[in-house]
Amino acid sequence: MKMEITNEILAAYAEGKVSVEERNQVREYLMQHPSKLESVIAMMDEDYELELCDADDLFSVEKSGASSKVQSFSDIALSAAAFAPMPTDCECKQPILKKACSSVRKESFSERMNTLLDELDL
Amino acid sequence: MKVAFANRYKPLSDKEIVDKVITAPYNEEAAVYLLFDRYDPLLAKIYRDVFVNDSNWYEDCLDDLIIYLKGKDNDWERLRSFQWRCQFSSWLKPTAANRFKEIKPYLIGKIPFPTSIDNEDAHVQLPDDGEESYEAIERKVMLLEAIRELEDPDQKFVVVKRLEGYNSQEIAELMKKAWKKHGIRRIDKGHEIVPSAAYVDVKMSRAKVSLKEILCQMI
């Protein structure tokens, strides 16, 4: 019986925690959705969040008076509940993400996989 | 991003925190800690991968992720659906990435917001365009499984990061951070190893040998 391939099943597959039947179904799914291969590699990466720059360089907060790096629960909850876009004249400052500092990726993921397969010379 | 109440949840495992969130009366503070503090570095990385240089929408994405995980009945339906068959972070990565990609056109103004952004019909997954042959894709799937079977953690790290697009010098820098994160020290002939591009290249060469052996056994 064909099962739904959820993110959890893919993640369990990435960790090698699926049954033989599930593995076969995930294989079939990936054959039909090869764009998901990149996602599976990310799931295998236990250190995916590591960046070349330091965290402080990547994530800075404009301060207005008191430190705004620490947020209270009620601020965050209100924002989540409203899910309203920020008014342009809002005085409270948003955390700012800077772009990651790494070299430009010229090849696509698919090309990188093909390169590795070629290098394996099977 | 740090939250004022983090110390309350810091000692708890992911499962303990999620259980607090999904058990009535639903501890929303715990959910905020989980996403805004513990997994902030991961979600920030995913955000940068999706939005690249546009830094304006990170908090909106996190806010939306909380609403998304709550589901339309505000009972944390989607978080509840997680059955702990894998690490929480492994599930969170594609869940967040897919959601950020989904809301990106709305946030950057390309498409007006619908009445409900929670589109239950959104995930009809059609097969990809058949640009590659069946055999080519099959080889990639087998390679993926072979990478998973690599026993040397440094070999696996190097291969995964190479496929993510980093060069040897970048992988060495990331490896230093990974070792620091996990408290790893490697000693060779009495000297502490410091990851370098050369070390990465050696590991990559050995990884290829290991991968070939694994793939030959799989065929």
pLDDT (mean) for B188-209: 96
Helices B88-107/A37-44 angle, 10° precision:
130
Q: How many CB pairs under 8 A join A and B?
A: 205
Q: What is the ipTM of this complex?
A: 0.87
Residue A100 has pLDDT above 60, yes or no: no
Nearest C-alpha in A relative to B170: A52
CB contact under 8 A, A35 and B56: no
Q: Are B37 and B6 in contact (CB under 8 A)?
A: yes
Please, which pLDDT band fits residue A1 given cuts at 50, 70 and 90?
confident
Give A-chain residues touching B55 at CB under 8 angstroms: 96-99
Please, which pLDDT band fits residue A66 given cuts at 50, 70 and 90?
very low
CB contact under 8 A, B159 and A116: yes
pLDDT (mean) for A10-37: 96
pLDDT (mean) for B49-57: 88
Min Cα distance A37 → chain B (Å) is 7
Interface test with B, best of A9, A19, A25, A45 (most B CBs within 10 A): A45
Give A-chain residues touching B32 at CB under 8 angstroms: 73, 76-77, 80
Interstrand relation of B2-3 and A70-71 (parallel, antiparallel or unpaired):
parallel
Please, which pLDDT band fits residue A84 given cuts at 50, 70 and 90?
very low
Residue B104 has pLDDT above 50, yes or no: yes
pTM, two decimal places = 0.81
Please give the angle made by the CA atoms of B77, B12 and A42, to the nearest 5 degrees: 65
Strand, coil or helix: what is A40? Answer: helix
Per residue in B109-146, pLDDT tens? 766 666 555 544 444 455 665 678 899 999 999 999 99
d(CA A21, CA B129): 26
* Average predicted confidence (pLDDT) for chain B: 90
What pLDDT, on the 0 to 100 scale, is given for residue B152? 96
Range name among A40-49, A50-59, B202-211 with the lowest pLDDT average: A50-59
Q: What percent of chain B has pLDDT over 70?
A: 89
* H helix and E strand count, chain B: 11, 3
d(CA B219, CA B217): 6
